[in-house]
Structure 1
Amino acid sequence: MIIFINRYGAEIIQRATEHLYLVTVAIFIAISVGIPLGILVTRKPKLNKPILGFANIMQTIPSLALFGLLLPVSGIDKSTAIIALTLYSLLPIIRNTYTGIVGVDPAITEAGRGMGMTDMQLLWQVEIPLALGVILAGVRVATVIAIGLATIAAAIGAGGLGVFIFRGVATVNNQLLLAGAIPAALMALAADFGLGWVEWHLSKTTLKTINED
């Protein structure tokens, strides 16, 4: 183990950093696109099927096939991996944003309208704060999915921990497989735990605010 760490330790850190970069950028873009789309669907119900349908279709395409389909468009680069990860991350974010806002108690929204709040004020001051826990749950699921799928980015030269996995498969070397799989699993667990804690904290804070009001 010591010999292995001495030999591959620096590269594991490098690949983990690349992996984290791909996931972070993809999730940031997915949040920036997914949450507004989820809000749009709550205001324009007719867009529900096309928007959620598109996100669903992206989820059904095999990951390696999606990477391959994007290659003629964006080339063999990190951008291809980021686009693919973003597309895969959209569904849970859009769906949870929609579900969270629609699930707000109608009595609360009616009370807000009775106080003279505009639709935008109602959205930002009432609906989004109350739906934040559900929205964050979608981000949590999307992040874990993206961390797992990012290992395939190595197939198109985008780096990441998948480099070790593909190298281990090619050489039938279990140590290399574990060098990629274990850090990726730990990264996913850390993200799930961290975002889960934030989700729990926000839900607790929101309930406390409602009870005080």
Structure 2
Amino acid sequence: MSHQEIHKSHRVGWLRAAVLGANDGIVSTASLIIGVAAASTSHEGIMLAGIAGLVAGAMSMAAGEYVSVSSQSDTENADLALEKNSLEQNYEFEKNELAKIYEARGVDSELAQQVAGQLMAHDALGAHARDEIGISDTGNAKPVQAAFSSAGTFTIGAALPLMLALLVPENYLIPVVVLSSLIFLALLGGIAARAGGAPISVGAMRVTFWGALAMALTAGVGILFGVAA
């Protein structure tokens, strides 16, 4: 019977962007709604602020992820170009360099030379990208994927407190949005931890803590400026 291990590391790229987007969507929109509501703003004003926050936040997340991951991609491509040129100019030096890496990991010197030679004969640039630079097919930067994933999950996350604000009467709006958002955050943190192979309770607690802090601070700002007005 064949045995196949299912690793979690291949999920890091999209999982990071998805969790970050959904978390920001819930926290920023719920905090915005709570802050505006605490300032005794009308229901229409609360909804307008929430919708504006959703649109601006989704675009900001997409742009931020695209620029950030594009920069990472540019760096990776520059390193690969440099390594490709070095392989063309100094093949034997690069082979010895790769063998030294394997030796440092515990491989016998003679065997390390054989492994380096065989890997480079198969795919020299791929071997150096993986073992010297640390670039792999599962972890390389994907700007467009990160941007769409982050913007999409931000929109989904932001829609949750926004729908509650639309449906719940003004008298109950703040407590319902706070409680529901904390539940959403706990579920999100647990799901993300589960997908990444981490303890569910830890993932849920850290996301919930920062979300609660953000909502408490914005509520305080709303009350302060509402009283001042």
* TM superposition score category, shorter chain reference: 0.3 to 0.5
Larger-gyration structure (1/2): 2
Q: Choose between structure 1 and 2 for higher RCO, CA contacts under 8 A separated by at least 6 residues.
A: 2
